[in-house]
Chains A and B, each alone.
Chain A
Amino acid sequence: MKVTLVDYGAGNLPSVERALGRLGAESERVAGPAALRAAEAIVLPGVGHFSALMRTLEERQLRAPLRAALARGVPFLGICLGLQALYESSREAPDDRGLGLLRGTIEPLPAGVKLPHMGWNQLRRVRSSRLLRGVPEDAYFYFAHSYAALHSDKATAAVCCHGADFVAVVEQDNLLAVQFHPEKSGQAGARVLQNFLESAQ
């Protein structure tokens, strides 16, 4: 199985590529629609502004084939902004539409805590999780974001807290996503990527 990495110019794409490579996974960068149509597993890495991601997906004509692949059941992992993109919209860029596969709007984390939420934090599992299988309960993951999904729903597998609870792990059928950066989260992060690869087999 080859992992298709959606290349929209995200700065963390090479680190995700390296992290998958360390686990023995083959991956290819994809910047055009054709390759998405044949994808066996898709990773959407992300960092930066919601608008930059959504607009680049439109410009490169990736939005429709990405939605089609997800509807077809292709295993998907969204990272950071790649999780936020699954929702309908974000207050970071009110004029841009999200992919709309999960209900709700991405909101700013509340003031009163240091922002961005930058550094290593722990998770609270709200149900059994495929991505967190074998990961110690007290493991830390690396976060770097100022916006988040503040309302849990049935797709939420784990939450984190920084000023308020927010969605840290999403698992809904073939849609998997994490607000943290597994590619930057040491052994715990590698295990999450490994779990994704295994679930995608």
Chain B
Amino acid sequence: MSLARRIIPCLDTDGARVVKGVQFVGLRDAGDPAELAARYNREGADELIVLDIAAARDQRPTFLETIRRVAKQLAIPLTAGGGIREFEDGRAVVEAGADKVTVNTAAVERPQLLTELAAAFGSQAVVLAVDAKRVDNRWEVFVCGGRQATGREAVAWAQEGVARGVGEILLTSIDRDGTRAGFDCELTAAVARAVSVPVIASGGANRPEDFLAVFTTGEADAALAASIFHDHRQPIAALKQFLAARGVPVRLSR
């Protein structure tokens, strides 16, 4: 009896449709979010994350409608975010049916936002998304879709988020994102050891071995991937069987 490591498909959307592209370049349509959500719910995903990567202010109602449509399909937890600028954006996402809200750029600009969201919805409902890139001998936090350096160090920023009440860290390696080179286990372990909350590893997923590595040497509590699941390259059930056979606790029965 132990807490299972989670497998989490991620739907990057332009607000309405799932899109795909390497580091926000060359986006192409990858399907309807509600249809994909229903499929992952059926195939044994442990949770789902839906992001609005365009995060255009005038498209907000569209994204909220997407969250509502996705939530209807799920009997598993849903995290949503992208473009969460202020408290009311977070509330809107929760009210649309997300169990957790993920915050990235706005938290760096105004860390108090994390405190406010955690006070209102509880720590278990607030996820700090940290996009990190190796710069010299440390990992630096980048915002605005990975385009803007912040000067903040990733491990310390994750710790500050936890001190402010976030219940989970969604940690993306910008270096690995879209490369299919495997998760950045070194980065993931550095953050996972430094914080008391669960860490979701993201960026670089390709083979089942990558998941095994991030759950063992990377010490991740959960692992996220997008295209390998959307493209049917990696069935979730087979991935979980692979992990279970190697001693990683995963939820096999649905």
Instruction: Tell me, in angstroms, the Cα distance from A184 to B4 when the chains sit together.
Output: 15
Interface flag for B1 (CB, 8 Å): yes
- Kindly provide the distance from the CB of A157 to the nearest chain B CB, expressed in whole angstroms: 16
What is the interface size of chain A, counting residues whose CB is below 8 A from a CB of the partner? 42
Instruction: Tell me, in angstroms, the Cα distance from A49 to B253 when the chains sit together.
Output: 31
B46 neighbours in A (Cβ, 8 Å)? 119-120
Contact between chains at B124 and A144 (CB < 8 Å):
yes
- Find residues 100-137 in chain B having any chain A CB closer than 8 Å to their own CB: 121-125
Q: A111-B196, A124-B1 are in contact. Are A118 and B253 (CB under 8 A)?
A: no
Q: A14-B71, A18-B72, A48-B122 are in contact. Are A119 and B196 (CB under 8 A)?
A: no
B6 neighbours in A (Cβ, 8 Å)? 119-120
Q: Pick the contact of B197 from A14, A116, A123, A189 — CB < 8 Å?
A: A116
B65 neighbours in A (Cβ, 8 Å)? none
Question: Which among A24-32, A56-64, A132-140 touches the partner chain?
Answer: A132-140
Interface flag for A177 (CB, 8 Å): no
A186 neighbours in B (Cβ, 8 Å)? 41, 75-76, 254
Q: Pick the contact of B75 from A19, A124, A138 — CB < 8 Å?
A: A19
B1 neighbours in A (Cβ, 8 Å)? 121-124, 160-161
A190 neighbours in B (Cβ, 8 Å)? 75
A142 neighbours in B (Cβ, 8 Å)? 76-77
Interface flag for A130 (CB, 8 Å): no
- Kindly provide the distance from the CB of B102 to the nearest chain A CB, expressed in whole angstroms: 14
- Find residues 38-54 in chain B having any chain A CB closer than 8 Å to their own CB: 41, 46
Q: A114-B197, A117-B3, A162-B3 are in contact. Are A144 and B99 (CB under 8 A)?
A: yes
Contact between chains at A47 and B125 (CB < 8 Å):
yes
Q: Pick the contact of A15 from B99, B198, B221 — CB < 8 Å?
A: B99
Instruction: Tell me, in angstroms, the Cα distance from A178 to B190 when the chains sit together.
Output: 35
Most buried by A among B121, B123, B221: B123
- Find residues 139-180 in chain A having any chain B CB closer than 8 Å to their own CB: 139-140, 142, 144-146, 160-162
Contact between chains at B168 and A118 (CB < 8 Å):
yes
Which residues of A are at the interface with B, using a C-beta cutoff of 8 A? 11-12, 14-15, 18-19, 22, 47-49, 111, 114-124, 136, 138-140, 142, 144-146, 160-162, 181, 183-190
Which residues of B are at the interface with A, using a C-beta cutoff of 8 A? 1-6, 41, 46, 71-72, 74-77, 94-95, 97, 99, 121-125, 167-168, 196-198, 221-222, 251, 253-254
Chosen A-B contacts, 13 in total, with CB atoms closer than 8 Å, are: A11-B121, A12-B99, A15-B97, A18-B71, A47-B125, A116-B167, A119-B46, A120-B251, A142-B77, A144-B77, A145-B124, A160-B1, A162-B3
